[in-house]
Amino acid sequence: MSVKRTIVFYSFIIFSFAALIFRMFYIIEAESDIYAAQTTNSYKLLIDKKRGTIYDRNLVPLVSSETKYKVAVLPSIQSKTYLHSVLSEAEFSAISDKFSLGLPFTFETDTFIEESADVEVYLIKERYSQNTLASHFIGYCDSGLTYGISGIEKAYDEILNNASATLSLSYPIDAMGRALSGIKPTVSDAGYSSRAGVALTLDAEIQKIAEAASALLSQKGSILITDVNSGEILAGVSLPEYDRNNISASIESNDSSLLNRNLCAYNIGSTYKIIVSAAALSMGLSGSFSHNCAGSLELGGTTFNCHKAEGHGYLNMKTAFANSCNPYYIKLGQSVGTQRLLSLSSLMGLGSSIELCDGIVTAAGNLPQASEIQSTGDLANLSFGQGSLMATPVHIAKIISIIANGGYNVEPTLLLGDVDAEGKITKTSENKEKTRIISADVADKIKEYMIYTVTNGTGRAASPEALGAGGKTASAETGWSVNGQPLVQAWFSGFFPAEKPKYAIVVLSEGGNSGAATCAPVFKKICDLLYQKGLAN
């Protein structure tokens, strides 16, 4: 091929290639809208993730009840100028670096700001806040709300997770991956407005009362309020409290604040005199059974002291119960016998764990076997609630309920049912046939003793301002010591009102001075608040 022909050939190739480039440029310019639609993707920005809601019995949310503002920002001159004008210097400084990244971002604020160009504002709910109720029963999740770690959050994790949803925005971006200013993002919120979750037997108003009264309690303890007829748990407090947004602080503090003390077993002391009295009356012993308390009693080579050193003198069952006289109950226990005491104790639930709902179970506590009660001294200890006998506040609430409701068994429960997307309870707990544990006459007699304890006995500090109450003090020795001082578990357990009781109320103080001094005033505060709120009738 000649040089001339070669030049012509290559010139033709170059010209054709240039024409092709020109044609492509023309197509791009002429059909830019089509080209953009084919090449533009979107940038997705998460605004909020929600989890199924946990409600009280009246469908009042026990989580996600407080709100905050979430601001979505598309970086632009307009959004930067606007936010600089409405935020404080500190708030703006905290987000200023994010504008240089060129991608949409979010920040939270407690103060409402108006939407503006490239600025979207959403009101979202916080899962947990400082005012969230019943923290120990509800429990907590991981920081991403992906799975439950304790309490109801863990027990019903599958239901709550199935009700999860997200609120997000999709911003259109150009071929360079830059979000396009001035175009409203697309909102994705499928399922976000669903009300699905679970409903508990808790009552938010009664829970608030229990938490308010807990301010009178020592640093470690619990309060439990149940319905005497159904066994449903209406309120529960465990101290110390913990911050569900800062779990590591509770772990590092080593104060066992993550423990739900309502589910833990403790020495119950004189609370057991309720069962001893019921066993005695059930076998036909009269309430006039008497003993002359001289301040101590020797039995099997062991001397058992009364809390009143000079003694109480002659007592019948009513006055011995009201004054919590140990020597009297030692004599009464000897008359009742080991087998009857242990049999009724078992019927009332001692020695067995109690399942409040799937995944939340109390400790079993300890009810000694008959083989462990080998001597009159062993039986003496059992008769006023000492020795190895242990139970949880849930067990004690069950016992109080049996007395208060006329002798019928109750099964403590925490779950009311599932809640569907429209906010309706779709599954409720079964109503089981009532089983009688003790006769109505025996229950009424012990109710009388418990009311007398509040009006004339060791429980005077528990006497409410109206409607009366019945109860029992207890100061249980543990055999442990703290800083050289014996550790005592203090209790006051009772029912309110005195006539036609509605509530079983159990107050426990770890290391309290005594049930009368430490726990009875808390019980009174609860009763007074229930009355003042119109919840006692």
Confidence of residue 5 (pLDDT cuts 50, 70, 90): low
Q: What would the pLDDT profile of 375-425 be if each residue is shown by its tens digit?
A: 999 999 999 999 999 999 999 999 999 999 999 999 999 999 999 999 999
Q: Give the pLDDT mean for 167-178.
A: 89
- pTM here is 0.89
Residue 458 has pLDDT above 90, yes or no: yes
Unique residue bearing structure tokens 């001159």: 77
**Number of CB atoms found within 10 A of residue 351's CB:** 18
Most distant CA atoms of the chain, gap in Å: 141
Distance of CA 220 to the CA centre of its chain: 16
Span of 20-29, 392-401, 471-480 with lowest mean pLDDT: 20-29
Spatial contact of 373 and 338, defined as CB atoms under 8 Å apart:
yes
Tokens at 120, concatenated: 């979207």
Residue 1 has pLDDT above 60, yes or no: no
Q: Give the burial class of 18: count Cβ atoms within 10 A of its Cβ; 0-12 exposed, 13-18 middle, 19 or more buried.
A: exposed
Strand pairing of 66-73 and 53-55?
unpaired
**Number of CB atoms found within 10 A of residue 55's CB:** 23
Using CA atoms, how far apart are residues 233 and 200, in angstroms rounded to an integer?
9
Using CA atoms, how far apart are residues 490 and 125, in angstroms rounded to an integer?
39
Residue 263 has pLDDT above 70, yes or no: yes
Superfamily of domain 204-532: DD-peptidase/beta-lactamase superfamily (3.40.710.10)
Spatial contact of 71 and 216, defined as CB atoms under 8 Å apart:
no
Who contacts 456 (Cβ-Cβ below 8 Å, separation ≥6)?
322
Q: Give the pLDDT mean for 172-178.
A: 84
Q: Which pLDDT value is given to residue 28?
A: 39
Spatial contact of 315 and 306, defined as CB atoms under 8 Å apart:
no
Q: What are phi and psi of 30, to 5 degrees?
A: -70, -30
Using CA atoms, how far apart are residues 457 and 455, in angstroms rounded to an integer?
6
Percent of the chain at pLDDT > 70 equals 91
Residue 151 has pLDDT above 90, yes or no: yes
Spatial contact of 476 and 267, defined as CB atoms under 8 Å apart:
yes
Spans of all domains in the chain: 204-532
Adjacent-strand bridge partners of 260: none
Q: Give the pLDDT mean for 472-488.
A: 81
| Helix extents (H) in 243-352 | 247-253, 273-282, 317-323, 326-336, 338-347
Residue 39 has pLDDT above 50, yes or no: no
Q: Which pLDDT value is given to residue 38?
A: 33
**Number of CB atoms found within 10 A of residue 170's CB:** 15
